[in-house]
Amino acid sequence: MTSLALAASDALRGAGLRVTESRSAVYEALRSAPHASADDVYERIRVHVPGTSRQSVYNALGDFADAGLVRRIEPAGRPMLFELRVDDNHHHLVCTGCGAVEDIDCAVGAAPCLVPSDDHGYTIAAAEVTFWGVCPACRSARP
Ligand SMILES: [Zn+2]
Ligand SMILES: [Zn+2]
C-alpha cells in the first residue's frame, strides 16, 4: 500500500466512513484533480480500479459530501464539481471558454468574507463567489 493510499484511508476513517477500494480511489482522484466532476473522477479511476461503476463513484461522492469530506461547487451551466478543500470559504474563478477552475482564497480568511448590504435578518454562515473570466490559454488561442 502506498503512503497516498494510507492517507486516503485515514481520511475516510476520520470522517467515519468505511474504507473501500473505490472510496479510496475516488479520494485519491480528487486529490490529484481538484474540482473534478463525478464523470471526471470515474474516468480517472476506472483503469486503476476494474469493476468500479459510475454509480459507485456517485455513491462515494455523495457519502463524502454527507460526511463533510468534500465540497460541491456548482458553476452555472456546468456539471457539479467536487473538491477536498472544505470549510475555508474559498471562492472560484471559472473560465467561460474551457471550464478551467481556479481557487481564490477567501478575501478575509473567514466565513462569510462578504457582508450583504441587507441580511434580511438572517445569520449569514457563508459567502460563495464565482468569478467568471477567460483563462490565459483560451485568451492566447483566440484569433
Ligand atoms: Zn479557458
Ligand atoms: Zn476550490
Using one digit for the tens of pLDDT, what is the confidence trace for 44-81? 999 888 889 999 999 999 999 999 999 999 998 889 99
User: Ligand 1 mean position to 64 CA, how many Å?
Assistant: 28
Average model confidence (pLDDT) for the chain? 90
Does residue 96 surpass a pLDDT of 80? yes
Q: How far apart are CA 19 and CA 118, in angstroms?
A: 45
User: Ligand 2 mean position to 143 CA, how many Å?
Assistant: 30
User: Ligand 2 mean position to 52 CA, how many Å?
Assistant: 26
Q: What is the mean pLDDT of residues 2-23?
A: 83
pLDDT at residue 6 in the model:
55
In the structure, ligand 2 is a single-atom ion and the residues with CB under 5 Å from it are 83, 103
What are the structural domains of the chain? 3-81 (1.10.10.10), 88-141 (3.30.1490.190)
Share of the chain above pLDDT 90, in %: 71
Q: Which regions of 22-138 does DSSP assign to beta strands (E)?
A: 36-37, 71-73, 81-83, 91-95, 101-104, 130-133
The two beta strands, 36-37 and 81-83, are antiparallel
Does residue 3 surpass a pLDDT of 70? no
Q: Which ligand is nearest to the CA of 93?
A: 2
